[in-house]
Amino acid sequence: MPHLFYSSTSRHRYYAWFEALHTRVDLLLLATLDEEGFERIEEKVRLCLEQVAAMGNRFDPKSELSRAVQAATQMLGQPIPLSLELFGLLERCQRAHRETGGLFDITVNSPCFEPGLMDAVELMGTIPYDKIARRNEEAVGGWLCLHREGIILDLSGVLKGFALERVRTLLLELGLCDALVNLGNSSILSLGRNPSDIPSGYVLTTSGNATIDRRHIRNPLTAEWVEGVCQVSVTTSDAVEGEIQSTVTLLRASS
C-alpha cells in the first residue's frame, strides 16, 4: 500500500492511494497519530469501501444488489429481502426519480429500457435513507419486487457518494476531523483543515464527459447518450445528493 508520512512538531500528515470501487482513491489525513496509527485507519477506510462495493456493485455477480435483482427477476412479483443500507439507498434513488420528473433513473442501462421502466420496480418498507446511520447486514430493511424481466438496477451514479458518506462517518467516529478523500476526481469529501478549497463538511461532485470519446450518461427521458466534452460540478453537504444533483443538472443542460 503506497503512502507518504510527514511528521511535524504538532500534527502529522498521511497520504495514501489505492484502487476501490473501480476507481482511484486518494486519502489525505492530518492528525497527531504515528505512522502505524494512520496505516490502521487506511485499512479501515479500505474495508469500508469494500463493504460498499459488496453491497451495491452491479458488475459483481456476488454483490447483494446483483443477487437481489437476479432473485427478483426469477420470481417476478415476489418480494426479495434487502439489507437496511441497500433498501435505504434504493429508496433514495426512487425518491430522486420522482422529484426530478424521471431524469434520475437507475434502470436506464437496462436492455429493455424505455421511459417509465422505474414503475416496474417496487420497494416495500418503512425505513427511509436519511434514517440509516450505519451498516447492519443482519437486519432486513425492506423488500424489492420487480414486475418486468430484463431490469438492471445500476447504482453507479450514486455509489461513490454513498461510499463517501460511510467514510465520513467512519473518520469522525475515529476522531479524524481533518481529511480529504478523493474518489476518482469526481467525488471529493473535505473535512476540517486540508489543502482543498472545498468548504469543510462538504462534497464536490462532478458529472459529465472529460473527453470527446467519453459517453456514459444516458438521458432517461429520451434514451439518448450525453455526447461531447461537458461537465457539471456541484457542492453539497450530502454526497449522495451531490451525485443526484450533478447528474440531473448535466442532463438538463445538455437536453
Tens of pLDDT, residue by residue over 221-247, are 998 888 887 889 999 999 999 999 999
Domain layout of the chain by residue ranges: 3-55+157-254, 59-154
Give me the pLDDT at residue 2, please. Answer: 62
Q: Which residue did the predictor score with more confidence, 127 or 107? A: 107
* CA 143 to the chain's CA centroid: 20
Assess whether pLDDT exceeds 90 at residue 105: yes
List, edge to edge, every strand of the sheet that includes 140-146: 80-83, 140-146, 121-124
Give me the pLDDT at residue 135, please. Answer: 40
Give me the pLDDT at residue 134, please. Answer: 43
Predicted TM-score (pTM) of the model is 0.90
Assess whether pLDDT exceeds 60 at residue 130: no
* Fold annotation for 59-154: T-fold (1.10.3980)
* CA 62 to the chain's CA centroid: 18
List, edge to edge, every strand of the sheet that includes 12-20: 3-6, 12-20, 23-31, 178-183, 187-191, 203-209, 230-236
CA dihedral 123, 125, 127, 132 (to 10 degrees): -60
Taking residues 191-210, what's their average pLDDT? Answer: 93
What superfamily in CATH does domain 3-55+157-254 come from? Answer: ApbE-like domains (3.10.520.10)
